[in-house]
């Protein structure tokens, strides 16, 4: 019997790395370990964008959430080799976090790895990110943690949706998607 070739599903060898962050108009992303706004609309979007995918975060972000995010593989990166978090994979290395996330994404047939903060984690993953999903929070809160400016030479805005504050939101906001520009 001769086997016939069947079309295989289009599976990326490397899942896209997507940084997901809410950033105020003044660059602030945090204040004393918390977000300085309330955007329930954005929390629903974060859940939709990360469900059934690996999510990578720093220890402080994990602590601010207070528990593992359900329906996702939670990968926590920390310098503290003794840190343990029930319900999460803990590593002290970005390379190990990336390997765990990639393996998990491939097992789940997920096409993306979500990086959800904080500032130091974003900085460490920026060079390997394929896409940025930014929620621009149209406010200028006080804060002690900022997101780096997005370099237009590297990132191209490909989508933008402006939204008025909903009943459980403290500010108007825009969802903005950036893709890494192709090398010339």
pLDDT tens track for 122-166 = 999 999 999 999 999 999 999 999 999 999 999 999 999 999 999
Q: How many CA atoms lie within 13 A of 130 on its CB side?
A: 10
Asked whether residue 131 is domain-assigned, the answer is yes
Asked whether residue 163 is domain-assigned, the answer is no
Number of domains into which the chain is organized? 1
Asked whether residue 37 is domain-assigned, the answer is yes
| Sign of CA pseudo-dihedral 58, 64, 67, 68 | negative
For tokens 């929070």, name the residue. 137
Burial class (CB in 10 A: 0-12, 13-18, 19+), 70: exposed
CATH of the domain at 110: 3.40.430.10
pLDDT tens track for 72-108 = 999 999 999 999 999 999 999 999 999 999 999 999 9
Asked whether residue 6 is domain-assigned, the answer is no
What is this structure's pTM?
A: 0.91
| Sign of CA pseudo-dihedral 118, 148, 151, 127 | negative
Asked whether residue 27 is domain-assigned, the answer is yes
User: Which one, of 175, 136, 129, lies nearest residue 155 by Cα?
Assistant: 129
CA distance 170 to 168: 7
Residue 96 belongs to domain spanning:
16-146
């Amino acid at each position: 019997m001769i086997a016939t070739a069947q079309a295989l599903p289009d599976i990326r060898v490397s899942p896209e790395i997507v940084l997901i962050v809410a950033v105020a108009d003044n660059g602030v992303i945090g204040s004393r370990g918390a977000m300085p706004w309330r955007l329930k609309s954005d929390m629903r979007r974060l859940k939709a964008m990360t469900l059934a995918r690996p999510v990578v975060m720093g220890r402080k972000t994990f602590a601010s959430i207070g528990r593992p995010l359900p329906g996702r593989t939670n990968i926590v990166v920390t310098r503290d080799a003794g840190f343990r978090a029930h319900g999460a994979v803990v590593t002290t290395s970005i390379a190990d976090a990336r390997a765990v996330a990639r393996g998990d994404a491939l097992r789940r047939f997920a096409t993306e790895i979500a990086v959800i903060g904080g500032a130091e984690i974003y900085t460490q993953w920026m060079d390997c990110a394929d896409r940025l999903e930014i929620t621009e929070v149209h406010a200028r809160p006080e804060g002690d943690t900022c997101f780096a400016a997005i370099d237009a030479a590297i990132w191209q805005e490909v989508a933008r949706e402006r939204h008025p504050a909903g009943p459980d939101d403290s500010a108007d906001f825009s969802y903005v998607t950036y893709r890494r520009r192709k090398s010339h």
